[in-house]
Amino acid sequence: MTTLRRFAIAMLASATVVVGSLATPSTASAMDCMYARTVEDLYDFTAWALWLMGSSESGYWSGKAAGIMVGCG
């Protein structure tokens, strides 16, 4: 009987955790444009430095810089 009781308590506790985690709102928010501009500058600088070193990865970082500013207009 105690094994069944422990199992029932464990199941109730895990169900409570699952329901509680689904009920809480997510805290993710969009990046504001001023911060996005700073990140874009960092990506552009990285692309520029890689281009000067002759790396083929500079196009990747240029694309990331352009993509981060899509929402800011």
**Residue 45 falls inside a structural domain:** yes
pLDDT digits (tens, 9 = 90+) for 4-54: 777 667 666 666 665 555 555 655 557 788 888 898 899 999 999 999 999
**Residue 54 falls inside a structural domain:** yes
- Total domain count for the chain? 1
**Residue 40 falls inside a structural domain:** yes
Is the entire prediction scored with pTM above 0.75? no
**Residue 36 falls inside a structural domain:** yes
CA distance 20 to 10: 15
**Residue 31 falls inside a structural domain:** yes
**Residue 73 falls inside a structural domain:** no
Contact 68, 38 (CB under 8 A): no
Query: 53 is in which domain, residue-wise?
Result: 2-68
pLDDT band at 69; cut points 50, 70, 90: confident
